Chain A
């Protein structure tokens, strides 16, 4: 079955690093994604990682993928108050023909304290 799980809440101090974790179930996922959602807004794609990679770094963001354990994490360095938002991980699942759909976790609410 398809299920993506995340912890619900994370609080960090401004300037610290944040690590948001996610587990997924579909081993056929080719890409995994991290999205950010601010209050009252749609989803913004932050970064993605191809399933044959272990790590991807993009400025303050580092994505780690453990394919054996189906574990994905997002590390945000030097976390700022503007990083306060809900973060969703998602996997791309092949459903019919060549079509793929995104399956999302429930989201992690990141609160950055001054």
Chain B
């Protein structure tokens, strides 16, 4: 049983470019959350998707957008990249029926470097 997978592992972009990160949830999970983890910090919640809709959003600008597909996989898009967007981007999956416990399983992350 594959856990949460993310691609790519590493990515280097320049300021102003756009990037798309991908995530496949753990088998049996239907909810995907995205987090940004800057160096030396804890993960910061970006948004959560369920039933192909954004259900809640953290304090991130509209440059950050996402999508969820019918197979529950998800993409995170960031437009007009800034140097400050350099971070580890983590995807976590969970089950909506288990939303009170909110047990989230994390992928290994995508390391984004903006030059």
**A interface list, Cβ under 8 A from B:** 4, 30-31, 35, 41-45, 48, 88, 90, 92, 95-107
Contact = CB atoms under 8 A, between A and B. Distances in A.
B56 A99 contact: yes
Interface of B: 4, 33, 35, 40-45, 48, 50, 55-56, 58, 90, 92, 99-109
Contacts, number: 65
B47 to A, nearest CB: 9
Contacts of B40: 106
Nearest to B96: A98
A43 B43 contact: yes
7 contacts: A42-B4, A43-B106, A45-B103, A48-B101, A88-B42, A101-B56, A102-B45
A103 B45 contact: yes
Contacts of A42: 4, 90, 106-109
A4 B106 CA distance: 20
Going nearest first, the 5 A-B pairs with the smallest beta carbon separation are: A104-B42, A42-B106, A43-B106, A99-B56, A92-B102
B103 A100 contact: no
